[in-house]
Amino acid sequence: MFDNEKTVNSKTVLGDNVHLIGIQVRGEGRVTIGDNFHAGSGCEIITENHNYDDGEAIPYDDTFVTESVEIGDNVWLGIDVTVLPGVSIGEGAIIQAGSVVTQDIPKGAIAGGHPAEVFEHRDMDHYETLKAEGKFH
């Protein structure tokens, strides 16, 4: 399901029952989004950075460092979440509104902040029961 306008590049793979509300995918890296994904408005997934380490100009040159982003099944991103290059967000994770995800988030984690850090975990027994019963929003 696509709500409102999205920008998704040709290297983006979407699972089933994906809900995107104004999400933007920036860069040439691969993005994989699992089933039953929900993203609030204003979210961004970024797959490349300017080359500042070994480039030929300061502060950066015309080349980019590209990394993929992987988002598991049943992930929920709140409004205005930014996911940076090279990040993996595990199945069933929830990312708090306004967060910047700079590192991997494990399965079932609830994370938030800038940078996003895990502060809680879902009740995984309950999660697995709902999953087994096919109860997806």
Give the chain's residues under pLDDT 70: 1-9
**pLDDT attached to residue 66:** 95
**pLDDT attached to residue 8:** 61
Catalytic residues, by residue number, are: 50
**pLDDT attached to residue 1:** 43
Please check whether residue 37 is in contact with residue 15, taking contact to mean a CB–CB distance below 8 angstroms: yes
Output the pTM of the full model. 0.90
pLDDT digits (tens, 9 = 90+) for 34-57: 999 999 999 999 999 998 888 889
